[in-house]
Amino acid sequence: MDEFSDIKLSRRELLIAGAISVTAASVPAAADAAASPAGAPPVTTKVAFQVNGKRHTLDIDTRTTLLDVLRENLHLTGTKKGCDHGQCGACTVIVDGRRINSCLTLAVMHEGAKVTTIEGLGNKDKLHPMQAAFIRHDGYQCGYCTPGQICSAVSVLDEIRQGIPSHVSTDLMARPQATPDEIRERMSGNICRCGAYSNILDAITDVAGSKA
């Protein structure tokens, strides 16, 4: 007996099954058609900006993120690639005085900008006050997120000094203060997988107090 003789399909079910099969078969073809031609050269352009006080002019692929240019072209590996989706803050740098996630922005968008990475804040011979505070308060364990944490912390105190409100500011007209709640809110985009948050808060509060 035919092994398929007991299978019964209505005309409607048969048409639905056929449509699904055709759609599934066409997806790879559509994806291939949308892809760029094999071997097509990347589109490149020149971009010039200042990084840690030094001017650089680079010829780069227009799709390259600022993070990859810093790490791969300029070999400033202090800035870390964490999630690569703008969710962890490990890649935080300071551009024209404002902190950004360098993995979410293209390098070509920053023509003429002034970029500061962890290497530009200080070095082993002359630490930035925030770097010294992180050491003093043991604000890190593995240290992978620390460069982004420090760059973000420096910008946080600048934001507070400039009177820029945050989501926990109760009075948008009043000048914000470097309270623990204010600092926690502003640092919430920087993840520490080791859980050194209390020590990080102590370090930032220490620097905030010294600059008050």
Q: How confident is the model at residue 180 (pLDDT cuts 50, 70, 90)?
A: very high
> What is the model's pTM?
0.79
| pLDDT top residue among 4 and 116 | 116
pLDDT at residue 111, as a whole number: 97
Residue 70: DSSP 8-state: I
Model confidence at 157: pLDDT above 90: yes
pLDDT at residue 178, as a whole number: 92
Q: How confident is the model at residue 25 (pLDDT cuts 50, 70, 90)?
A: low
Give me the residues paired with residue 47 across strands. Answer: 58
Identity of residue 117: T
Question: Pairing between strand 44-51 and 92-95?
Answer: unpaired
Mean pLDDT across 125-134: 96
Tell me the average pLDDT of the chain: 88
Cα-Cα-Cα-Cα dihedral sign, residues 17, 21, 24, 30? negative
CATH number of 43-121: 3.10.20.30
| pLDDT top residue among 170 and 71 | 71
pLDDT at residue 170, as a whole number: 77
Mean pLDDT across 93-106: 98
Residue 101 contacts residue 81 (beta carbons within 8 Å)? no
Q: Name which of 70, 30, 29 is nearest 51 in CA terms.
A: 70
pLDDT at residue 60, as a whole number: 97
Report, at the CATH architecture level, how domain 124-212 is classified: Orthogonal Bundle (1.10)
Q: Where in the chain is the domain with CATH 3.10.20.30?
A: 43-121
To the nearest whole percent, how much of the chain has pLDDT over 70? 81
